[in-house]
Chains A and B, each alone.
Chain A
Amino acid sequence: MANNITPTQETKPVAAPWSWQKKLGFRIIFIFFLAMSIPSTASWYNNVFTLNWLRPHYRDLYDIARFQPSYVRWFTGGPNYGDVDGAPLPQEKNNDDNATSRDKRGERHHRYDRDTVNSKSNSTAIAPTIKSNDNNNVSMPPKRNFFADYADWGVALIFGIVGGLIWTLIDRKSKSYNLLYYWIRVVVRYRAGIGIIGFGFTKLFPTQMPYPSLGLLNSNFGDFTAQKIYWMSVGVVPWYQVFGGVVEIVAGTLLFFRNTTTYGAILLAGALFDITLVNYAYDGGVHVYAFYFVLLSLFLIADDVPALYNLIIREKYTTHYRVYPDFTKPGLKYPRIVLKALTFIIFFGILTYTEVINFKYDPYKQPSTAGVKKLRGNYHVTDFKINGQELPYNPNDSVRWQEATFENWTTLTFRVNKPVVIDPSNGGGSPMHDIQRTFEITGVAGGERAYHYYADTVDKVLYLQDKNAVALLGNRRGGRGGANRRENQNQRPGNWISAEAWKHIGDESKMIDPAAWSARRDREFAQKQRGQKRNRMVLKYDTTDGSRVILSGINEHRDSIYVVLDRYDRKYVLPKSILSAGKY
């Protein structure tokens, strides 16, 4: 099947001058894709320059790979909506003024988190509009225009057009831009490749979609938001997530080499187009970022489309000349080797290592601190007394706990037949504090509550806080927005737990395997935790081997409760995978 035949058609010489339309079009596209492919937020650069390469965390590198064009805020000063794993919702915009003012008060904010999902983490972010006739009190953000999500791209396009026109006026001499075309393709290839590999590794070591907690497994299918259902549907099959990661990493790697770029771009365009539609269908929040990759891939494929069409569909003899810079020149040869090697070392060496550590010891979407060893599993609530009064089991009672669960980590979940404001976010980002890792409670209705606990194992006391940060925002008594928050600025989170108890509890930042300690973790723990209004309980626990646990103390409404829990072995039909994240 040889192809060394003399061509029967005339071949076009490559260095032919371009028409003025082609030159103008190219200038616009060049600037547009440049604007789309380079980081434009201060936080990105801050992350890169403050990164401690000797004590890295996967999120440091992930945040290098993960950025989007963000130009609207240059003009409006608003937050970056760059939707992520768990995008902040549109209301964030209203609250961000408060966030800035907090900055001015001298409290350090996670500057490098501002543009990622953590803008939620230390602010009582969402002021939901409660649907008055909805029993579940689900918070509903206002509807946004479909195109509004792509505003940043629009600005980049404007840059392209304006810049292209200026360039046209300045540059009278250039006849063609074949080399510049090569270079912009390199920029886009590496942007897309690095970006998708950043995502790919969180799937390859499956942490992006966590296997559902016991609390989630016990909730009805109909009690989840669509977004939650999608996330869990991948979380239950870790090997499929691994496969997804492999596809993404392979696609990204193919983009790093000229000869395989088209295959990588086709794979990437197909996979990410599907993900874009999934995000629209389930309202997953990452549709803009997913479509970003589709756009970049289509740009890369475009170069080959005319040739493929000519060859396969028109069945004509086809030549496809490409222009490359001369890489034998030392001025290009060595930088190229160095940069390529650096890319591989960072993203296949360091990132891989940090991702493995993350998976083994600190999966970023679930709490990483091991719970009290004896308190594990599903429990029936055998007895329940409130203020001395015994309440019999009744699934309709709005006070009595129906069932309770101690997870492998520091969370107690229980179900009460009382509506709760649902946190509709995706519980993403990568907060270091267990209490902010909200995946196990976001998007869940059905009266489920999840409380983070600090365990004083000496005095046998649990200090519990509601992980649902929006639970109290629905209260009329709690007030709305700003007034509420300012009131709590003065509430130091630490003073409901005595210093003595803290000594018994220990330092949370050190409660995970030392291999997972990092500069990022230390930084976040060093920051003062803002006083956040949360439901709290202080409960003494009493047990021998954990099969019967007696909790007694003060609940979130300042009532005294006495709860007897009996563990039972709940058999699930859903299989558990051998791929299990975290060390508990």
Chain B
Amino acid sequence: MLTIMTQTINNNTQQEWSPKQKAGFRFLFLFFILQALPLSVDLFRFLFGPNWLSYGYIFNLTRLAPKFIPGADSFINWIIVLVLALIGSFVWAGSRYKEQDYDKLYYWLRTVVRYRLAIGIIGYGFLKFFPLQAPFPSISNLNTAYGDFNDWKIFSLSLGIVPGYEAFLGGVEILVGLLLLFRKTATFGALLILVFTGNVFISNLAYEGGEYVYSFYLISFATLVFWFDAHRVFNLISLDRPTQPNAYQPIFVGTQQTLRIGLKAVVIFFFVFLYGFKTYSGYHHDPYQFPKTAGLKHAAGIYNVSEFRINNKVLPYSATDPVRWRDVVFEKWATLSIRSNRPVLIDSANYEQISQKDEDRNYELVGSAGRHYYSYKVDTISQTLLLTNKNPHYRNEHFSLNYIRPDSTTIILNGLDQNRDSIYVVLNKIDKKYPINLGRRKVLKL
């Protein structure tokens, strides 16, 4: 059992804890310690899942929070923790552990909380610093009508077009995380989190994102970290009164000191250097939002459907035809998307998850209508594409089409479609320019 020596300056300046303050503290202590532990039903899945030490693995670690009900984050988990903490605090009150050095407990509580907060915010920070979280929109995204996206997708795409700004946001999160790792700068870091993550929280509510519970979780931690100095700041700034600083100084001696520095070093090494390195290489080799497998060679782009035959009947261009394809996009990776008047039931996942398998990488179609997305396998010998609809609502659509490439800008597809109708489609690449890439003046590199 570690015993930490503590020293206080001016013993008579130490705050006296009233019984009410002690009771409140006991509850908060238990609540926040429980919240900081990875008491999650997802824990074992992540801990022993595949891809040890990939950046996705580390990110998922930082993301663990108490979750007793599987599925999306929910405030119900908070209520469970609240109840446990309440019960625990009554037990504590009745036990012999009632009289403790509460200043020491406060110190340790704050330490655990600020480390958990730092790890959590850095987890997200690197995903933005190397712009992975909101990638630059795919060609299909650029060729979807604005009104065909849901709010969260619009938010993500709008951030994706400015990787420099995204990197700045990530940089702020990383910096703040580092500030939290040191006792004296933690207050400032917590203040920045209140402002920054406060905005994230409100954005999630406004854009119907799925991260509002977790961002509120981080805000609650930041509030606790800041609260420690809040009354001092208020006293000095608003009341204009001379103010006593914090008087509690923990002192570590001998092995305790080595242990402390060792633990700190491990945390920084693992969550900053290792994780940072992994996300850096991930950004360059394997951005998690889009599939890895390369698509048909030199086919990427948007194609006009100049001829469309179904069951040997030619369908002319039409704005209203329910069947005729309007345009086709081949991505750089093995996805193609078809715009048509066929309605789309959208896949509306809106929380952060890092998947290794291409088929789970749904970012390109999440929250968007207007197009049907197919992952495809190329057989260069028989010149066929084996398509599978990526949308979970249409998972059973498989069909294969022959492809002929008479020249570099034409692709002719024929075969049976998802309804077993025979189709013959001529695609001509459109040389399209996008104004997103054309700024008004020199772009600031951040």
Contacts and interface: CB of A to CB of B under 8 A. Distances in A.
Interface stretch (A135-143, A161-169, A464-472): A135-143
Contacts of B184: 312-313, 315
A315 B435 contact: no
Interface string B180-193: 00001101100110
Contact of A226 (B161, B187, B203, B239): B161
Given A573-B150, A573-B369, A395 B304 contact: yes
A219 B231 contact: no
B433 A224 contact: no
A230 to B, nearest CB: 6
B231 A1 contact: yes
B142 A89 contact: no
B368 interface: yes
A395 B185 contact: no
B206 A239 contact: yes
Contacts of A270: 192, 195-196
Interface stretch (B46-54, B261-269, B314-322): B314-322
A174 interface: no
B202 A320 contact: no
Interface in A278-336: 278, 280-283, 285, 304, 307-308, 311-320, 322
A233 B244 CA distance: 46
Contacts, number: 231
B142 to A, nearest CB: 3
A24 interface: no
A90 B441 CA distance: 10
A100 interface: no
Given A136-B435, A313-B185, A220 B206 contact: no
A217 B146 contact: yes
Nearest to B144: A221
B141 to A, nearest CB: 6
A381 B162 contact: no
Contact of A240 (B206, B243, B317): B206
A501 to B, nearest CB: 33
Given A221-B142, A283-B440, A311-B236, A573 B244 contact: no
A233 B438 contact: no
Interface stretch (A13-21, A259-267, A357-365, A514-522): A259-267
B230 to A, nearest CB: 11
Interface residues of A, number: 89
B236 A572 contact: no
Interface in B116-157: 137, 141-151, 154-155, 157
B177 interface: no
Contact of B151 (A141, A218, A315, A574): A574
B158 A229 contact: yes
B242 A319 contact: yes
A381 B319 contact: yes
B217 to A, nearest CB: 20
A262 B237 CA distance: 7
A270 B144 CA distance: 34
Interface stretch (A3-11, A49-57, A58-66, A487-495): A3-11
Interface string B409-446: 00000000000000000000001111110111111101
Given A318-B245, A320-B236, A221 B141 contact: yes
A30 B233 CA distance: 27
A312 B188 contact: yes
B202 A217 contact: no
A443 B443 contact: no
Contacts of B143: 220-222
B257 interface: no
B88 interface: no
Interface in A123-154: 134-136, 138, 140-144, 146
Contact of A311 (B142, B146, B243): B243
Contacts of A315: 184, 245-246, 249
Interface in B208-259: 208, 229, 231-233, 235-246, 249
A424 interface: yes
Contacts of B192: 270
Given A237-B207, A311-B232, A281 B444 contact: yes
A237 B191 CA distance: 26
A103 B13 CA distance: 73
Contacts of A316: 245
B154 to A, nearest CB: 6
Contact of A8 (B10, B187, B202): B10
B15 interface: yes
B291 interface: no
Contact of A445 (B202, B207, B435, B442): B435
Output the residue of B10, B184, B439 with the most chain A CB within 10 A: B439
B183 to A, nearest CB: 9
A230 B241 contact: no
B165 A278 contact: yes
B65 to A, nearest CB: 25
A113 B431 CA distance: 42
B435 A223 contact: yes
B162 A7 contact: no
A544 interface: no
A227 interface: yes
Interface in B313-370: 316-320, 326, 346, 367-369
Contact of A574 (B146, B240, B245, B441): B146
Given A312-B188, A402-B319, A574-B151, A212 B146 contact: yes
A393 interface: yes
A222 B434 contact: yes
A393 B317 CA distance: 6
Contacts of B270: none
B164 interface: yes
Output the residue of B168, B441, B446 with the most chain A CB within 10 A: B441
Nearest to A568: B320
Given A574-B150, A574-B151, A229 B317 contact: no
B67 to A, nearest CB: 27
B139 to A, nearest CB: 8
Given A236-B154, A312-B188, A318-B242, A220 B232 contact: no
B440 A221 contact: no
A312 B232 contact: yes
B446 A229 contact: no
Nearest to A233: B158
Given A280-B444, A311-B232, A392-B316, A138 B151 contact: no
Given A312-B233, A315-B246, A380-B319, A143 B441 contact: yes
Contacts of B13: 5
B236 A396 contact: no
A285 B440 contact: yes
Nearest to A257: B238
A298 to B, nearest CB: 15
A277 interface: yes
10 contacts: A5-B13, A136-B433, A218-B147, A222-B432, A227-B440, A393-B316, A395-B317, A445-B435, A573-B147, A573-B346
Given A220-B143, A307-B237, A314-B245, 5 more contacts: A136-B435, A144-B442, A312-B187, A403-B319, A570-B147
